[in-house]
Structure 1
C-alpha cells in the first residue's frame, strides 16, 4: 500500500531504518569475527574471552545496552529484534547506506482472543488509515479494500515500511488466515506452450502472440538526457567540494532519474502480471528454460533481453501456478525452433541448413508442412512439457 507520512513520521522512519541497518551490519560483523576466531585451535584466553563477549552481544537487548543511541524512544523495539539467521549458504553482505529506507516491525495481539485487521498493535482504523507503532496514524492507498471486506479472522504478521529511491513510501503486510484469500478456479483441461522471443513478447501454441511493449526503449532518450544532467551536477558539486546529499540541484535531478526508472519498472511489472494471470487460467503451462545471464552476453540483444523481463515473468508463472493449483513446467529449449512439429525433422541435419533469426517462416523439407517459426516452437515446447509431465 502507498502511504503518505508527515515530516515527523518521515524522520521516525529514517531513524528506524538506520537502526535496523546498523543492527544487521553489527550482527554480520559479529558473525564474521566469531567465525575467524573459532578457526584458531589454540585455547588462548584472550580469544576465548572475545568469543564470549561477542556471543553475549548477539541479542537486541544486549545490542541496545552496548550502543546507547539505540535506546531512542522513537525506535521500535521489534525493529531492533528483526535480525534473522536466514543465510543458509554463502556469506551475508553488509547493507550499505542508500536513498532507500526500510525497516520491519510485527503486529502483536496481546489480550485479544481473536485476530482481525482492526484489533492488533498494527491495525486499520478505517478504509483510508492504518495505525503503526511509533508512527501513529498513516493515510494509505492501495489494494487493501478487498482484504478489509473479509469477515473471516485475518492475522497481520510482519509489517514492512519502505521508502524507495524516488521518495515514495510504501507499507506491506504479511497476512494469515484459515480461510483462503483466493478461490481456486475450476479445471478447464486446457494446455498451452509459450515461446519467448524478442520480436514479440511471446507466442503461444494456439497461435496467439503478445506484442513486446519495450518500455525501456520508449523512455530511453528522456532517461539518457536526464542522466547527463545528473552527471554534470554531480561533477559540479564535487568541484565545489559540496557533498551530494546536501546539493539541492543534484538531489532534484536524482529524484527525476529515479522516477523515470520507477515508471519503466512499474509499467513492465503491471504488463507481466496481466499476461501471467491470463496464461495461468490454463490447467498446464509449459515454457522454455532461460539462461538470461548467458544471453545477456550477446551485446546485440542484451538491451532487448533486459527490457523484456523474461526471468521475472517465469517467476510469476511459477508462484501463480502454485497459488491457483495449476501446473507449470520449463523444458529444455534444444531444437524447439529447428524441429518440425508435424514430423519431428530437425533443420541442420540430412544436408539442410539451420534456421537463422531472419527465417520467420519455413517449410519442412520432409513433410512439406509450412510453419511460422515462433508458433512451431511453442507447439514443440508444449509437446516436451507434456512428455516431462508424464
Structure 2
C-alpha cells in the first residue's frame, strides 16, 4: 500500500461542508460505539448495518455517502477489536477500553462517492454534503494510477488547511545490490545515533529550537477571550507551529533512515520501549523531541521496501558490557567513556553500538511474521518470543517525493551528512 497526499483547495462553503462531514463521521462512530456497549455479541457487520439505520433516523447522516458511513462504523470496530486483542494478550495495565471521540479530523470514502477528473488534478465528491469539486496540488504523479487500485480516499483537516489522501494498492518493493556492510545503531540524546563504526549523527532538537516561539503563541492564545474569533486565530497559529515541528522531525527521521538502509545490508538497533522511557519526567521532553520511534518505523519500512534486514535487539546491558572482552563494566549515565581492564577505551555509545551489532549477527536467523491489514492501509509485525530479538517491517506512511529521486550517499562515510 502507498498513501499519496495532496493539498486541497476550494471555497469557504466547501470547507464548511467538509467540517460538517467530519462531524457526521464522529457522530456515527460514537453512536456505533454506544450501540456496542448496550448490546452484547455485536460484530463488525452489525455495526455496518447500524450505520444504515442511523441514516434513516437522522437526515444529516443520510447526506453522507454510504461507504463513508461504513468506514465510520469500521473506525468504531477497530477500537473495539484492539481492546479485545489486548485482553486476550493480557497486556499489563489498562487494556484501552473504547472511548467516545471528542475530536475528529478526517472523513474517509471507499471506492464510491468521489470521482477524479480526466487530468487527475481535481476530485469531485458526489454525496449530499455539498463538498463538490476540489483542486489537488502536490508533487505525486496521480495520473499513473487508475481508479481501481485506489482503495480509499480520505479528507484530512489540519491547522494549515485540508488534504486529500489516496490509499493506492501497489507493489513498492525495490531490490538493491548488496553492499557487504552491516551496522549497529545506538540512539541517544546528545547525538541522534552513534553507529558501530564510530560515526555520529547530530541531534537536530526541533522542539527545543522552536520552543520559544511555541510559548509565545501559547501565551497569546491564553489571553484571548474564550469563544472569540481572535482566540480561534491564535489557536490556529499555535497549531501551525506544532505542525511544522512535527513535520521537521518526521522528515528528518525519514531521510536518515532511507540513507542508512540503502547503505547497509543489515541494520541493528535497540528494541526500545519509548512509552516507558518517557515516564521519567526529567528527560521525557528530550526523548520525545528526538523522535526515536519515528526513526525506527522508517528503518523497518525501508528495510522491507529495499529488501534489507532490520533487527531490533534487546538493549539490556549493551552499554555496560565491553565490546572487546564481554566483561561487565558498570557505569552511570553521566559516564560517557567506556574503559575496560582489557585496554578497550571507547565512547559509551560507540561501545553500545558494537554490542548491538554483535547480538544481531548472533541471532539473525530468526524471521518475523508479516500481517497485512489493507483496511487500515498499514502493516504490522509479530514479536519473536525469547532471545529479545525482533525482525520488523512496520507501518507504511507517505514518502516524500524528494526521497524517490537520486541516489543516497553512504552515511557511514559522511559524518556531517544532513538529510
Alpha-carbon shift at residue 204 of structure 1 (Å): 0.7
On the 8 A contact 2:173/2:307 being kept in 1, the answer is no
1:199 is aligned to 2:204 = no
Alpha-carbon shift at residue 124 of structure 1 (Å): 4.7
Who is 1:382 aligned against? 357
Instruction: Work out the CA distance in 1 between the residues paired with 2:321 and 2:30.
Output: 53
1:140 is aligned to 2:136 = yes
Instruction: Work out the CA distance in 2 between the residues paired with 1:65 and 1:148.
Output: 38
DSSP-derived class of the 1:125 partner:
coil
Name the larger-Rg structure. Answer: 1
Classify 1:64/1:209 alpha carbon distance in 2 versus 1 (closer, same or farther; 3 Å): same
1:169 is aligned to 2:162 = yes
Matches within 5 A, 1:1-390: 1-35=6-40, 58-72=49-63, 75-82=64-71, 83-84=73-74, 85-86=77-78, 87-90=80-83, 91-96=97-102, 98=103, 101-108=105-112, 121-126=114-119, 128-134=121-127, 135-145=131-141, 147-149=142-144, 155-164=149-158, 166-177=159-170, 180-233=171-224, 236-237=225-226, 244=227, 247-281=228-262, 282-347=264-329, 354-365=330-341, 367-390=342-365
On the 8 A contact 1:214/1:307 being kept in 2, the answer is yes
On the 8 A contact 1:223/1:260 being kept in 2, the answer is yes
Task: Kindly indicate whether structure 1 or structure 2 has the higher relative contact order, using CA contacts under 8 Å at least 6 residues apart.
Answer: 2
Instruction: Work out the CA distance in 1 between the residues paired with 2:276 and 2:67.
Output: 42
Alpha-carbon shift at residue 341 of structure 1 (Å): 1.1
Alpha-carbon shift at residue 290 of structure 1 (Å): 1.0
Instruction: Work out the CA distance in 2 between the residues paired with 1:26 and 1:299.
Output: 37
Who is 2:392 aligned against? none
Classify 1:12/1:153 alpha carbon distance in 2 versus 1 (closer, same or farther; 3 Å): closer
Instruction: Work out the CA distance in 1 between the residues paired with 2:58 and 2:191.
Output: 56
DSSP-derived class of the 1:188 partner:
coil
Classify 1:69/1:131 alpha carbon distance in 2 versus 1 (closer, same or farther; 3 Å): closer
Normalised by the length of structure 1, the TM-score is 0.80
Instruction: Work out the CA distance in 2 between the residues paired with 1:291 and 1:88.
Output: 23
On the 8 A contact 2:105/2:156 being kept in 1, the answer is yes
Classify 1:214/1:388 alpha carbon distance in 2 versus 1 (closer, same or farther; 3 Å): same
Which stretch shifts more, 266-275 or 127-136? 127-136
- Give a deviation string over 1:44-99, Cα, whole Å, max 9, x none: xxxxxxx9xxx699433322112233233xx3232122222333242322111x3x
Alpha-carbon shift at residue 167 of structure 1 (Å): 4.1
On the 8 A contact 2:172/2:305 being kept in 1, the answer is no
Alpha-carbon shift at residue 153 of structure 1 (Å): 8.7
Normalised by the length of structure 2, the TM-score is 0.74
Instruction: Work out the CA distance in 2 between the residues paired with 1:362 and 1:56.
Output: 58
DSSP-derived class of the 1:59 partner:
helix
DSSP-derived class of the 1:139 partner:
strand
- Give a deviation string over 1:231-251, Cα, whole Å, max 9, x none: 121xx43xxxxxx2xx11101
Q: CA RMSD in A?
A: 2.3
On the 8 A contact 1:125/1:131 being kept in 2, the answer is no
Alpha-carbon shift at residue 142 of structure 1 (Å): 2.2
- Give a deviation string over 1:267-303, Cα, whole Å, max 9, x none: 0011010111111222211111212223223222111
On the 8 A contact 2:48/2:70 being kept in 1, the answer is no
Instruction: Work out the CA distance in 2 between the residues paired with 1:67 and 1:76.
Output: 13
On the 8 A contact 1:25/1:94 being kept in 2, the answer is yes
Unaligned runs of 5+ in 1: 39-50, 109-119, 238-243, 348-353
